[in-house]
Structure 1
Amino acid sequence: MASAPEPSAPTLQAFDRERTAAALPFAALAQAIEAAAADLQAGRIASPERTVLPLGAGGALLSMPATSHDLGIHKLVTVQPGNAARQWPTIHGIVAVCDAASGRPLCLLDGPEVTGRRTAAVSMVALRRLLGRAPRQVLLIGTGVQARHHVGAIHALFPDCPVLVRGRSDAAARAFCAQASATGHVQLCPPDIPDTVDAVVTLTTATEPVYDLPARADRAVVGVGAFKPDMAEIGRATLAGSLLYADDPAGARHEAGDLIRAGVDWNSVRSLASLLAEAPDRSRPLVFKSVGTAAWDLAAARVAVRALGLGT
C-alpha cells in the first residue's frame, strides 16, 4: 500500500521594501520595541553579537540572529562600499522570519527597511522617555536614509513637532528638507541651534563629533549613526556630566565610538529597559546611544507577522 504523500509546504512569501514598510507602522513598532526591551533584559530574547565576515572587495556580510518564544529571525546584511561608484545601494539585506514552535519559515522582509524603521522607532521610544513627553522641536544632524526614516517616525508619532535639519553642507540639507517637507514641517537649521530645540538626533557616519555643545538638562541627545569604534558623533562636552543610556550596553562597549573615545564609565551606562522601567533624573542632561541589536529586528518581525496575517 502506497504511503500518503507529505503535505506540501506553503509558499515562502518575500516582501519588497514597500510591502515591508506598510507592515511596520511606527506606532505599533514603538510598542513592540518597548516589549522587546523588557524581554531582552529578562533573557526572554536571545540576541548574540553580530558576526561580520569579509565579502568581495572591501565589503562585508553581517549576520544577526535572534530568537524568542514566538519567533526566530535572522538578518543578513551586505555592505559593499564599491556600489556607490555603480550608483547602486551600498547596503542590501533580508530578514528571514520563522515560527519558533515549528521552525516553519514564515516570510522574508526587506532588511534595510526593517533596520531603518525599527531604528527610528527606538529613537522615538527613547526621546519620549528621556523628555517625559513628546519633543517640541527636533534637530536631525544628517541627511541620509536614517534621517528619512526619522522624519517619518517623528511625523507619525509626534505630528505637531517641527524638525530642523543639518547636513554635511547647506545644499545637502536644503535638498533633504525640500523632499521631506512634503510629509510635514521640515526646514534648514540656522547656524546657531535655537533654544527651542529640546531634542537632537545624530544620524551620520562621522569620525569626528558633529554635536559637542555643553550638556544641558533641557535638551535630550540621541546618537544613532556612529556604530563602529572609529566613528564619533557626540563629543566629550556633551557626554561629560550626562546620564548615559544605550539600547544595548554590551554591544555599545565595542561599537559606540563616541562613548569609547570619551572613556565613559561603562558601569554607569544603563539599558533601554531600565529607562523604560524607571524614569530618569530629568534635572540632569540625558544622552541615549543606539547601536542596534537583532532583538529590535525580532520586534519588527512580530509587528509584520500580525500585519501580514502570517500568524502561527
Structure 2
Amino acid sequence: MTDVLVHSAQQTADLLDFPSLMACLATAAGELAAGAIAAPERQVVPMPQGGVMLSMPAAASDLCIHKLVNVVPGNRTRKLPTIHGVVTAYDGASGQALFVLDGPTVTARRTAAISMLGLASFLAAAPQRIALIGTGAQADGHAEALAALYPGLDVAVIGRSPDKAQAFVSRHRHLPLALTAGTAVPDDAQAVMTLTTSSTPVYGEAARPGRLVIGVGAFKPDLAEIAPATLHASQVYVDDLHGARHEAGDLIQAHTDWDQVKTLSSALAGGVPFDTPIVFKSVGCAAWDLAAARCAQSKIK
C-alpha cells in the first residue's frame, strides 16, 4: 500500500482557495444534476452521549470520496471542538486511497463557497453591503470567503446579542472587510445570509427584488431560519433538491411547493430573473465534498 497523504486543517484550507473551489463546485453541480456524480443521502449513526456519526460518500468517474464526521455537542464541556472528521479521497478507477483532508475544514469552506456561488448567480451585480445573521463557525467561514472574493465589502453582523456581534467583529478585524456589529439587517443590504442553528426564524422581512436571502444554518427538519411569508413570496432555489426535501427545515415547515423549487445547477446553466425576490437555501451534500477533493488534488504535488 502506498503512503496516503494526511493534511492538517491549515493545509486543507491552503488547498481550497475560494475561486478554485467555486469553479470545482459549479462543475460538480452540473454533474450531479446530470447523474454523473452519485451522492446518496447521508447515513446518521447515533453515538454515545448524544453524538452522531455522519457518513457521506460520493463517486464520480475520476474520483471517489468518503466523508466521515462525528458531531458531539457534549465536547463543549470538554473544551474540545464539537465536530471531528476526515474526507478520504480515492482514485475513481482503482479505488486506491490517495489523500485525506480535514473534514470540518472541507465542510466550512465548501459551504461558504456554495454561498459565494449563490451571490454570483442570484445578484445582478457585485454586492456593496451584506448582512450576516449568526456569529458561530459558519459565520467565520463566510467572512473568510467574503474577504477573499470581495475585499472592502461592507458587512453587518447580527448576533443573538450585541456583545456576541461585537466579539465577532473584533475577532475578524484582520480581514479586509468593513465589519460592523448591529441588531437589525440594514435596509440597503443586497444580501442576507442566515448562519445559525435556530429552531425559529431569525429573518422574516418582506421579500423584495434586489435582496437575496441565503439560508445556510438550518440543516435539519426541526430547524428554521427564514420565515414562511418570506419564502412564499420568493422564488426558491436549493443547492441539492433531494437533500432539501429531507433536511431543509425552513422549506419543510413552510410547506413549500416542491414543484416550484429550482436548483442551483439550473441557475448556473440558464441564469435567473433578477426582478423576482430570491431565496437560496443550501443544505450541503457529499458531491460538494467531492468537488473540494478535486480542488485539493489539483494542487497536491
TM-score with structure 1 setting the length: 0.94
In terms of mean alpha carbon deviation, does 16-25 or 231-240 score higher?
Answer: 231-240
Indicate yes or no: 2:47 matched with 1:55.
Answer: yes
TM-superposed CA distance for 1:186, in Å, is 4.1
Matched position secondary structure for 1:184: coil
Gaps of 5+ in 2: none
Cα distance in 1 for partners of 2:175, 2:74 equals: 32
The one-letter amino acid of 1:119's match is: T
CA-atom RMSD in angstroms: 1.0
CA contact under 8 A between 1:180 and 1:186: conserved in structure 2? no
The one-letter amino acid of 1:206's match is: S
CA contact under 8 A between 1:139 and 1:189: conserved in structure 2? no
Cα distance in 1 for partners of 2:100, 2:42 equals: 19
Indicate yes or no: 2:272 matched with 1:280.
Answer: yes
Indicate yes or no: 2:7 matched with 1:10.
Answer: no
Deviations 1:87-129 (A, max 9, x none): 1111111000011112111111000000000000000001111
Indicate yes or no: 2:128 matched with 1:136.
Answer: yes
Bigger radius of gyration among the two? 1
* 1:190-269 pair list within 5 angstroms: 190-269=182-261
CA contact under 8 A between 1:61 and 1:79: conserved in structure 2? yes
Indicate yes or no: 2:86 matched with 1:94.
Answer: yes
Cα distance in 2 for partners of 1:252, 1:105 equals: 30
Deviations 1:9-35 (A, max 9, x none): 321111110100000000100101100
TM-superposed CA distance for 1:194, in Å, is 2.2
Aligned length: 301
Cα distance in 2 for partners of 1:217, 1:286 equals: 7
Partner of 1:34: 26
Indicate yes or no: 2:171 matched with 1:179.
Answer: yes
Deviations 1:236-263 (A, max 9, x none): 2211210000001111111111111111
Deviations 1:42-87 (A, max 9, x none): 0110000000011111111000000001100000000111111111
Cα distance in 2 for partners of 1:204, 1:190 equals: 16
TM-superposed CA distance for 1:192, in Å, is 4.2
Partner of 1:159: 151
Partner of 1:64: 56
The one-letter amino acid of 1:68's match is: A
Runs of 4+ in 1 over 6 A off after TM superposition: none
CA contact under 8 A between 2:248 and 2:281: conserved in structure 1? yes
The one-letter amino acid of 1:49's match is: E
Partner of 1:118: 110
The one-letter amino acid of 2:107's match is: T
Cα distance in 1 for partners of 2:189, 2:163 equals: 22
Cα distance in 1 for partners of 2:103, 2:182 equals: 35
Gaps of 5+ in 1: 1-8
CA contact under 8 A between 1:177 and 1:188: conserved in structure 2? yes
In terms of mean alpha carbon deviation, does 129-138 or 289-298 score higher?
Answer: 129-138
TM-superposed CA distance for 1:189, in Å, is 4.2
TM-score with structure 2 setting the length: 0.98
The one-letter amino acid of 2:258's match is: W
